[in-house]
């Protein structure tokens, strides 16, 4: 793609502006890489459901059609993968964790921590305070289309202010826990929290 010289300053300026949005050690990618620890599950929507549980105690469960009746929100956010790619202005639609708690009749989250559970067995731990106040959603659409299976469809968690391994694909529920227990990558040495602005990549960072 060739551009007339006059637009170079313009794009250069924009690049400078955008660099404020790229955390340390990250670079921008125009693509949307796929990173999965296992095979992509192909999920039958008639079997899909999403749960909230307090430890072993079920709190709420929604099947696909019910989930679609919950209040939907659209967000445009930047995402940051620990493998060093960042992607700006990604557009998602889904149900915020706040809305899930409210639909479940919970004024307060039951515990301070949570384990996110996925079809296929992937897990990741996220403190509840990183999911409420509009900070996280269960996303079912990307870029105006149903979320593709490779990117976690039918539904994935989106916690964009943490490294993208926390945005669990093929999510099936949130289990509230009393302690901050390590999930899949966290047990393998990734940071327990994963804030990209503090470069919390690996345990000890």
Ligand X SMILES: Nc1nc2c(c(=O)[nH]1)N[C@H]1C(S)=C(S)[C@@H](COP(=O)(O)O)O[C@H]1N2
Which residue ranges make up the site for ligand X (CB under 6 A)?
32-37, 81, 118, 120, 122, 151-152, 164-165, 167-170
CA dihedral 155, 159, 164, 168 (to 10 degrees): -30
Contact 128, 109 (CB under 8 A): yes
Work out whether 165 is an interface residue with Mo ion (CB under 5 A). yes
- Binding partner of residue 128 among ligand X, Mo ion, none, CB under 5 to 8 Å per kind? none
- Residue whose token pair is 């040495």: 189
- Indicate the pairing of strand 137-142 with strand 156-158: antiparallel
- Binding partner of residue 91 among Mo ion, ligand X, none, CB under 5 to 8 Å per kind? none
- CA 174 to centroid of chain Cα atoms: 12
29's tokens = 């990618």
- Binding partner of residue 170 among ligand X, Mo ion, none, CB under 5 to 8 Å per kind? ligand X
CB of 2 to ligand X, least distance (A): 30
- Binding partner of residue 203 among Mo ion, ligand X, none, CB under 5 to 8 Å per kind? none
CB of 166 to ligand X, least distance (A): 7
CB of 158 to Mo ion, least distance (A): 14
User: Cα separation of 179 and 120, whole Å?
Assistant: 23
| Of the candidate residues 60, 81, 104, 106, the single one contacting Mo ion (CB under 5 A) | 81
Tell me what percent of the chain is helix, strand and coil, each rounded to the nearest 5. 20, 30, 45
Residues numbered 10-39 forming contacts with Mo ion, rule: CB under 5 A: 35
CB of 149 to Mo ion, least distance (A): 17
Decide whether 59 or 157 has the Cβ nearer to ligand X: 157
Decide whether 67 or 163 has the Cβ nearer to ligand X: 163
Q: What is the DSSP string of 93-155?
A: EEEEHHHHHHHTT-SS-SSSEEEEEETTS-EEEEEGGGTTTTT-EEEEEETTEEPPGGGTTT-
- Binding partner of residue 122 among Mo ion, ligand X, none, CB under 5 to 8 Å per kind? ligand X
Contact 20, 104 (CB under 8 A): no
CB of 14 to ligand X, least distance (A): 24
Decide whether 100 or 159 has the Cβ nearer to ligand X: 159
Q: Which residues bind Mo ion (CB under 5 A)?
A: 35, 81-82, 165
């Amino acid at each position: 793609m060739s551009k007339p010289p006059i637009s170079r300053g313009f794009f250069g300026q924009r690049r400078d502006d955008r660099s404020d949005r790229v955390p340390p050690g990250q670079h921008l990618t125009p693509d949307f890489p796929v990173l999965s620890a296992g095979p992509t599950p192909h999920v039958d929507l008639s079997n899909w459901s999403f749960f909230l549980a307090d430890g072993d105690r079920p709190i709420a469960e929604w099947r696909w059609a019910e989930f679609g009746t919950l209040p939907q929100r659209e967000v445009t956010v930047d995402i940051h993968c620990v493998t060093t790619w960042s992607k700006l202005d990604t557009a998602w639609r889904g149900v915020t964790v706040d809305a899930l708690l409210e639909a479940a009749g919970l004024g307060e989250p039951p515990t301070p921590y949570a384990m996110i559970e996925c079809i296929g067995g992937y897990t990741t731990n996220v403190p509840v305070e990183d999911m409420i106040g509009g900070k996280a959603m269960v996303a079912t659409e990307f870029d105006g289309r149903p979320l593709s299976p490779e990117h976690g469809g039918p539904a994935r968690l989106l916690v964009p202010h943490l490294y993208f391994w926390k945005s669990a694909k093929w999510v099936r529920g949130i289990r509230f826990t009393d302690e901050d227990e390590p999930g899949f990558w966290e047990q393998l040495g990734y940071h327990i929290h994963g804030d990209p602005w503090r470069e919390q990549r690996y345990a000890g960072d």
